[in-house]
Amino acid sequence: MSALLYFERAALALGGRSVFADFSLAVGADEVVALLGPNGAGKTSVLRAGLGLVPLAAGAVRLGGDDPRGLSAQARALRAAYLPQHPQAIWPLSVEALVALGRYAHGGAPERLSPRDQAAVDAAIEACGLGALRSRRMDRISGGEELRAHLARTLAQEAPLLVLDEPTAGLDPAQAIGVAEIFRKHAEAGGGVLFSTHDIALAARVAHRVTLLREGRIVAAGAPETALSEAALSEAYERKGKLVRVEGTLTAMFE
């Protein structure tokens, strides 16, 4: 199976300081992978390196088989869609115009969408439950709605791989689960998802595999129930914690 994204012994240094090292990970089609770890563990940097936004110090990263830094911005965008940690709409566009920006790499623009573009925009708006808000301005909706609009923009890009930095931060539990279901659907349709999160329970619930980071190195990786052992969680977060199953659903508890 060819991975949509893989890292092989990748290392990144910023300003002379090592951010992550000896990092290996593959995200295949049909797969949701979660990146976990405390603040400053290097999750965001891993995602950015995967997209070629920052150069590696050592090792390799391949996006759809190629070094992302050798690809044009357009070619990259057709392989991976990215939701940054604090997505911005600097100018208050309408929700629909913002989502339509996701069609950039396909040649679409908010005022010039082909039927194909419009269909992708409509589907993304539908998937994120934004139908009633499509003509609302981005500065006149709630924080959760804003985040879902940006998520819809990422989906409208119709890239095989979704790379998302804390896509459920600030969402209520029901909305977070709704987002997790979108990831599952994307994987079931043959796509791949790599997302970072602090929500261990959500990762355990939605991800096929997790990678747990601490200070830029992998503490544990694999299926959530095996990788997120008491020892691994306690080491990563420096606080005794474990995964428990409550009425069939996994959740994390810390002392």
Partner 1 sequence: MRRPNNLGAVVFALTALSLAALLAALWLGPVPIADPFADDARTRAIVWEVRLPRALTAWLVGAALGLSGAALQGLLRNPLADAGVLGLSGFAALGAVIAFAFGFSAFAPFAALAFALAAAILVTALGWRARGPASLALIGIGLSSLAGGLIALALNLAPNPGALSDLVNWTLGSVEGRSLEDAALAGSFLLVGGALIFASARGLQALTLGEAAAAAIGADLSRTRALVVLGAAACAGGATAVAGVIGFVGVAAPHFVRAMVGHDPARLLLPSALAGGAMLVCADIAVRLLPTDTELKLGVAAALIGGPVFALIAARLASRGGDA
The correct pick among 157, 196, 197, 211 for binding partner 1 (CB under 8 A) is: 157
Stretch that binds partner 1, among 27-35, 59-67, 80-88, 202-210 (CB under 8 A): 80-88
Rounded least distance, CB 113 to partner 1, Å? 8
Task: Return d(Cα 159, Cα 207) in angstroms, integer.
Answer: 19
Of 139 and 172, nearer to partner 1 (C-beta) is 139
- List 38, 59, 110, 144, residue binding partner 1 (CB under 8 A): 110
The pattern of x and - marking residues 84 through 103 that bind partner 1 according to CB under 8 A reads x--xxxxxxxx-xxx--xx-
Among 2, 74, 114, 226, binds partner 1 (CB under 8 A): 74
| 232-255 exposure pattern, b = at least 16 Cβ within 10 A, e = fewer | bbbebbeeebbbeeeeeebbbeee
Task: Report d(CA 159, CA 167) in Å as an integer.
Answer: 17
Rama region for 194: left / alpha / beta (φ>0; ψ in -120 to 50; rest): beta
CB of 205 to partner 1, least distance (A): 27
Nearest C-alpha neighbor of 80 from the set 116, 29, 126: 29
Backbone angles phi, psi at 29, to 5 degrees: -65, 155
- Footprint of partner 1 on residues 131-150 (CB under 8 A)? 134-135
**DSSP of 14-43, one letter per residue?**
ETTEEEEEEEEEEE-TTEEEEEE-STTSSH
Among 5, 77, 201, 212, interactor with partner 1 by CB under 8 A: 77
Residue 136 or 217 having the CB closest to partner 1: 136
**Binding residue (CB under 8 A) for partner 1 from 48, 148, 186, 208:** 48
Of the pair 104, 160, the CB lying nearest partner 1 is at 104
Q: Give how far the C-alpha of residue 160 lies from the chain's centroid of Cα atoms, to the nearest Å.
A: 12
Confirm or reject binding of residue 105 to partner 1 (CB under 8 A).
yes
Strand, helix or coil for residue 174 = helix
Residue 15 binds to partner 1 (criterion: CB under 8 A)? no
Both tokens assigned to 247: 């009425």
- Nearer to partner 1 among residue 74 and residue 142 (C-beta): 74
Q: Is 214 in the site for partner 1 (CB under 8 A)?
A: no
Residues contacting partner 1: total by CB under 8 A: 37
Name residues whose C-beta falls within 8 Å of residue 196's C-beta, 6 or more positions apart in sequence. 34, 35, 36, 43, 44, 46, 47, 164, 165, 166
Burial of 100 (0-12, 13-18, 19+ CB in 10 A): buried
Q: Which helix (H) or strand (E) holds 91?
A: none
Does 80 participate in binding partner 1 (rule CB under 8 A)?
A: yes
CB of 210 to partner 1, least distance (A): 23
**Under the rule (CB under 8 A), what is the footprint of partner 1?**
48, 51, 53, 72-74, 76-78, 80-84, 87-94, 96-98, 101-102, 104-105, 109-111, 113, 134-135, 153, 157
